[in-house]
Amino acid sequence: MIQEARQERTFWGFTPQFWVLVVGTLINSTGSALVFPFIALYIGRRFNATEAEIGLVFTLYAAVSLFSGAAGGALSDRFGRKTVMVIGLGAAIVFSIMMALATSLAMILLAIVVIGLLMPIFGPAVNAMIADMLPEEHRPRGYGMIRVAANLGVVIGPMLGGLLADQEGGFLWLFLGDALTSGIFALFIIFFIHETRPEAAPQQNAATTAATSSWRDSLKLFDGYGQVIRDTPFLLFSLTFLAATIVYSQMNTNLVLYLDKEFGITASQYSYLIALNAAMVVLFQFPITAYIERFSRTAVLAVGALCYGIGFGMFGFVGQMWWFALGMAVLTIGEMVLVPIAQAVVADMAPEDMRGRYMGFYGLVWGLSFGIGPLFGGVILSADGGAHRRLLWHIALVVGGFGAIAFVALGRYYKRREAQKRWQEILARYPSAPLQPDVSASYNTAATGTPTIPGAKTGDG
What's CA 173's distance to the chain center, in Å? 27
Residues 381 and 392 sit within 8 Å (Cβ to Cβ)? yes
CA nearest neighbour of 460 among 286, 287, 296: 296
One-letter identity of residue 364: L
**Strand, coil or helix: what is 80?**
coil
Domains present along the chain, CATH in parentheses = 2-198+221-433 (1.20.1250.20)
> DSSP secondary structure string, 241-289?
HHHHHHHHTTTTTHHHHHHHHHH---HHHHHHHHHHHHHHHHHHHHHHH
Distance (Å, rounded) from C-alpha 451 to C-alpha 461?
A: 17
Distance (Å) of CA 282 to CA 12, 65, 146, 272, 276: 16, 29, 10, 15, 10
One-letter identity of residue 284: F
Determine how many CB atoms are found less than 10 A away from the CB of residue 375: 24
Distance (Å, rounded) from C-alpha 438 to C-alpha 211?
A: 46
One-letter identity of residue 67: F
Distance (Å, rounded) from C-alpha 94 to C-alpha 116?
A: 12
| Contacting residues for 66 by C-beta, under 8 A, at least 6 apart | 364, 367, 368, 371
Distance (Å, rounded) from C-alpha 279 to C-alpha 393?
A: 24
Distance (Å, rounded) from C-alpha 360 to C-alpha 222?
A: 10
Three-state SS for 428-448 is: HHCCCCCCCCCCCCCCCHHHH
Query: Which pTM was predicted?
Result: 0.69
Distance (Å) of CA 450 to CA 84, 226, 424, 460: 33, 26, 14, 15
| Contacting residues for 458 by C-beta, under 8 A, at least 6 apart | 140, 293, 294, 297, 445, 452
Give 133-138's long-range contacts (Cβ < 8 A, gap of 24+).
133/2, 133/5, 133/6, 133/14, 133/15, 133/17, 133/18, 133/196, 134/6, 134/14, 134/18, 135/6, 136/347, 136/348, 136/452, 138/13, 138/14
CA nearest neighbour of 461 among 438, 445, 437, 449: 445
Determine how many CB atoms are found less than 10 A away from the CB of residue 416: 14
Question: What is the pLDDT tens value at each position of the chain, 461 positions in all?
Answer: 444 444 455 556 678 889 999 999 999 999 998 888 888 888 888 888 888 888 888 888 888 877 776 677 788 888 889 999 999 999 999 999 999 898 888 899 999 988 888 887 888 888 889 988 888 778 878 888 887 888 788 888 888 888 777 777 778 889 999 999 999 999 999 999 989 888 754 444 444 443 344 334 444 555 567 778 888 889 999 999 999 999 999 987 899 889 988 999 888 888 889 889 888 988 898 899 889 888 888 999 999 999 999 999 999 999 899 999 999 999 999 999 998 899 888 888 888 778 778 887 888 888 889 888 988 998 898 887 777 889 999 999 999 999 999 999 998 888 887 777 776 767 677 666 555 555 444 434 333 333 343 444 444 33
CA nearest neighbour of 325 among 397, 277, 285: 277
Distance (Å) of CA 130 to CA 18, 25, 138, 206: 8, 12, 10, 26
